[in-house]
Amino acid sequence: MKYKVEIIRIRDHTLSLSGWAVGRTPESKFSFSVETKDHKSVDIRIASIRRDAVSQHFFGRAYDSDLGFDIQFPYQQGETYYLKIAADGKRSRFKLNEEVIARRKSAAYRRWEWVKGLANRDTVRAAVGLVREHGLKALYLKSKHRLTDIQETCEYNEWYEMTKPTLADLEKQRQTAFLYEPKISIVIPAYQTPEKYLKELLDSVLAQTYENWELCIADGSGKSAPSPILSRYAANDKRIKYCILGKNLGISGNTNAALEMATGDFIALADHDDTLTANALYECVAAINQDENIDVLYSDEDKMSMAGGSLFDPHFKPDFNIDLLRSVNYICHLFVFSREILEKVGPFREEFDGAQDYDFIFRCTEAAFRIYHIPKVLYHWRCHENSTASNPKSKLYAFEAGARAIEAHYQRVGIDAVVEKGVDYGIYHTHYQLKDTPLVSVIIPNKDHTEDLNICISSLKNKATYQNLEFIIIENNSTDKRTFEYYQQLEAAHKEVRVVRWDREFNYSAINNYGAGFAKGEYLLLMNNDTEVISENVIEELLGYCMREDVGIVGTRLLYQDDTIQHAGVVVGFGGIAGHTFIGLHKGENSYFQRAMCAQNYSAVTAACMMTKKSVFDAVGGFSEDLAIAFNDIDYCMKVRNQGKLVVYNPYAELYHYESKSRGLENTPEKVARFNREIETFRKKWPDILKNGDPYYNPNLTLNKSNFDLRDLKKEERP
């Protein structure tokens, strides 16, 4: 018998264990139990999980066996527990106490476990499997990024210390008198909260530099409610209000009870074991004073170790991003809204318990006049450092509730869509229901390279399931006679293909504008000739978004031939002007909060494969022909956004991109000079976003790399 407890997590006074166990055969039956050090049995909840990778490691192939486990049981701080495992007549037990948990959460432990695991037989098997499926480069990248991840906690703690407000800053905030000083009600549902955590929460509220607040706590713990702490704090500060509920009303019911106590102009939501930064409410009020139309606010956040001594996993978010919100609840904490919003949308709904905050955030943002993002960490979310990696299948109800929350949102805004699990639990994939099958005009510039062009067209015709397409090939000064023979064969064999000639010098913008003039379709699919379809429903994925009234452009996920990312959205400001996100990340790797696999809004996407409405293309005058080579697609996206339309990146529309084979490199003095001129043209056209920053990127993240790493304070200006 072999087993491994991979993840230990404490949340809401519950200890969760995730791992795997194998016996002599894939069919070996396991029993699990938990007891205290004095042999008292503990009630547990257990979910069995299929773990194909474990099966492959030990038995050579995947079996229909649940070798993984996820176990939950009530955790009492200071108590020692033993997980008992039995199979095939053998028994083992795993000790769980504060020392073990503290050791498990340290970066040093994780680093040692990783290094030690390199020599482990199972790790070697996993590495061999990865190499077989994706090649040596995938193994190298995964190992490199894993080592980088191990250092993130230490790096972020140092970064946070350098960027957080100083004592002098905090004192200055305390002395600030705002023109408008709204009362903010901090609403907290409590349930069996450990006294230590509740005290830290209360202390973080009392430390606020903005003082016009009230704290409203509804405790559903019943007889076990820690009333001495609450009564003591309330006696010392009249701004603290609490009620002891007769029973646990559930997360929504407890929250609604706290909301009923709130009298503030604005309301902030918080969990019972987390903490606010001292400047949290000050930053909210400062923003509200800058713009009186703000009625919903949210901030960046990080996670805090159970002991409270370490910060990790910072989430630096974009400004409001509706399509990202429909993919994942990225807003989370700190979330603040006006009383008027609450009166419009009503309280929490228990039918969405498990994702009740997700449903509530959707309803608030739907009703909001102005949503404002504060790009500062104002909230510390307490959890185990490995909790984000925990197998969440035992909380499947929560993710199902999340899908229902998204679908309820779609129903309210009049969108016909079905939501399913995305790349991971908590990440969602929306399927828009197409009401018709409009003609899509595929526009492909080409100069020779008929082999590439043939692969591009054939992949759309033979692999893509959507077939109401026309192809407009823009011939651009080819010199190989076989190219023209290929054109004749292509047009003869396929009536939906038309070749048109561009006889002037190469100008990407002018060529595409010329080709679009021949398009009969309602939608344009602009493609490079060196692309190849991977996902067969690529057109449906693009159309689903592009058919929405609020969307003008939809982009794809493009991979290099070695299955690393070439394009997953564009950030204006990368490298000084604009650049692609997550370049070089292997398609199987996790990106920053899974952003590479979340549909979302970006300021721009690449025209190597881009769908746009023909009406939108015509309204903005197509591509700007003063940008002949570089940044014309970024410029087009900016023009479309100026028309009030969204640009969407859809990772489920996936293609290979073999990277500009036809045009060649910018490697002559003339080409370099032209490129530099176009940089200046772009700078002059769009100075505001280059100065103020891309709203879909966070100013705390670096512009020097594409992986959403922390801004290097030694090399880049502090945001």
Q: Rounded CA gap, 684 and 690, in Å?
A: 10
pLDDT at 19: 83
Angle at 505 between CA 504 and CA 506, to 5 degrees: 120
Beta bridge partners of 301: 315
Quick one: pLDDT at residue 103?
A: 60
Residue 89, by phi and psi: left (phi above 0), alpha (psi -120 to 50) or beta? left
Segments of 621-690 assigned E as strands: 646-657
d(CA 683, CA 693) in angstroms, rounded, equals 13
Q: According to CATH, where is 2.60.40.10 located in the chain?
A: 1-105
Residue 154 pLDDT exceeds 60: no
Contacts 24+ apart (CB under 8 A), 613-620: 613/522, 613/523, 613/524, 613/546, 613/552, 614/441, 614/516, 614/519, 614/521, 614/522, 614/523, 614/524, 615/522, 616/552, 616/553, 616/640, 616/643, 616/645, 617/516, 617/524, 619/643
- Could you tell me the pLDDT band of residue 188, with boundaries at 50, 70 and 90? very high
On whether the CB atoms of residues 500 and 514 are closer than 8 A, the answer is yes
Domain covering 167-391 in this structure, CATH number: 3.90.550.10
Residue 564, helix vs strand vs coil:
strand
For 433-479, the pLDDT digits (tens) are 998 999 999 999 999 999 999 999 999 999 999 999 999 999 999 99
Q: Higher confidence at residue 364 or residue 162? A: 364
Who has greater pLDDT, 349 or 244?
Answer: 349
**What is the helix, strand, coil percentage profile of the chain, to 5?**
40, 25, 35
pLDDT band at 97 (very low <50, low <70, confident <90, very high): confident
- pLDDT value at residue 408: 97
| 215, 244 Cβ separation under 8 angstroms | no
- The residue-averaged pLDDT of 26-43 equals 90
Q: What is the pLDDT of residues 128-142, one digit of tens each?
A: 555 565 566 566 665
User: 3-class DSSP state for residue 714?
Assistant: coil
Q: What pLDDT, on a 0 to 100 scale, did the predictor assign at position 359?
A: 97
Other residues' Cβ atoms within 10 Å of the Cβ of residue 135 = 14
Residue type at position 488:
Q
3-state SS assignment for residue 411: helix
Q: Find the helix or strand (DSSP H, E) in which 381 lies.
A: strand 371-382
Query: What is the mean pLDDT of the segment spanning 551-555?
Result: 97
Amino acid at 305: S
pLDDT band per the 50, 70, 90 thresholds, residue 13: confident
Mean pLDDT of the chain: 87
How sure is the predictor about 149, in pLDDT bands with cuts at 50, 70 and 90?
very low
Q: Is the pTM of this model over 0.85?
A: no
Tell me what the mean pLDDT of segment 358-377 comes to.
Answer: 97
The reported pLDDT for the residue numbered 145 is: 53
Asked whether residue 111 carries a pLDDT value surpassing 50, the answer given is: no
Burial 297-309 (b: 16+ CB within 10 A, else e): bbbbbbbbbbeee
Structure tokens at 304: 């805090």
How much is the pLDDT for 132? 61
Q: Is the pLDDT score of 398 beyond 60?
A: yes
Residue 64 has pLDDT above 80, yes or no: no
Backbone angles phi, psi at 237, to 5 degrees: -145, 115
Over the stretch 679-699, which tens digit does the pLDDT of each residue have? 889 999 999 999 999 999 999
Residue 205 has what pLDDT?
96
98 falls in which pLDDT band (50, 70, 90)? confident
pLDDT, residue 84, reads 93
Find the range with the poorest average confidence among 333-342, 392-401, 566-575, 636-645.
Answer: 392-401
Among 655, 650, 659, CA closest to 559:
655
| CA-based radius of gyration for the chain | 28
Which residues partner with 216 through β-bridges?
Answer: 187, 241
pLDDT, residue 72, reads: 85
The encoded tokens of residue 571 equal 């950030």
Judged against a pLDDT cut of 80, whether residue 309 lies above it is answered with: no
CB neighbours of 585 closer than 8 A, spacing ≥ 6?
A: 141, 145, 564, 565, 568, 591, 596, 707
How far are the Cα atoms of 53, 225, 430, 649 from residue 121, in angstroms, in the given order?
13, 49, 40, 40
Task: Choose among 240, 235, 225: nearest CA to 187.
Answer: 240
Looking at residue 130, what is its pLDDT? 54
Residue 78: per-residue pLDDT: 80
Calpha distance 24→28 (Å, rounded): 7
Q: What pLDDT does residue 171 have?
A: 95
Apex CA 617: angle with CA 611 and CA 618, to 5°? 150
Give the pLDDT confidence score for residue 99 in this predicted structure.
74
Say if residues 516 and 610 touch (Cβ distance below 8 Å).
Answer: no
Mean pLDDT across the stretch 355-359?
94
pLDDT band at 362 (very low <50, low <70, confident <90, very high): very high
Average pLDDT on 335-357 reads 95
- Residue 322 to residues 145, 330, 598, Cα–Cα distance (Å): 29, 10, 12
Please give the pLDDT value at position 246. 82
Q: Using 50, 70 and 90 to split pLDDT, how confident is the model at 570?
A: very high
pLDDT at 598 over 60: yes
* CATH number of the 434-692 domain: 3.90.550.10
pLDDT at 208 over 80: yes
**Lowest mean pLDDT segment, chosen from 402-411, 527-536, 581-590, 607-616:** 581-590
The tokens for 462 are 């033979």
Q: For 56-85, what is the mean pLDDT?
A: 81
- Of 29-43, 108-122, 223-237, 581-595, minimum mean pLDDT range: 108-122
Give me the half-sphere count of Cα atoms (radius 13 Å) on the Cβ side of residue 594: 19
Q: What is the pLDDT of residue 364?
A: 97
CATH 3.90.550.10: which residues of the chain? 167-391, 434-692
Average pLDDT over residues 63-68: 76
Model pLDDT, residue 220: 86
Rounded to whole angstroms, the Cα distance separating 616 from 545 reads 14
For 421, counting Cβ atoms within 10 Å of its Cβ (0-12 exposed, 13-18 middle, 19+ buried), the class is: middle
* pLDDT score of 649: 98
- At residue 150, does pLDDT exceed 60? no
Q: 116: pLDDT confidence band, cut at 50, 70 and 90? A: very low
> Is 1-105 a domain of CATH 2.30.30.90?
no
Identify the DSSP state of 436: S
Looking at residue 351, its amino acid is E
**For residues 74 and 221, what is the distance between their CA atoms, to the nearest angstrom?**
14
pLDDT at position 616: 97
On whether the CB atoms of residues 692 and 683 are closer than 8 A, the answer is no
How far lies 118's CA from each of 113, 130, 294, in Å?
A: 9, 14, 52
Band of pLDDT at residue 390, cut at 50, 70 and 90: very low
- Asked if residues 349 and 359 have their Cβ atoms less than 8 Å apart, the reply is yes
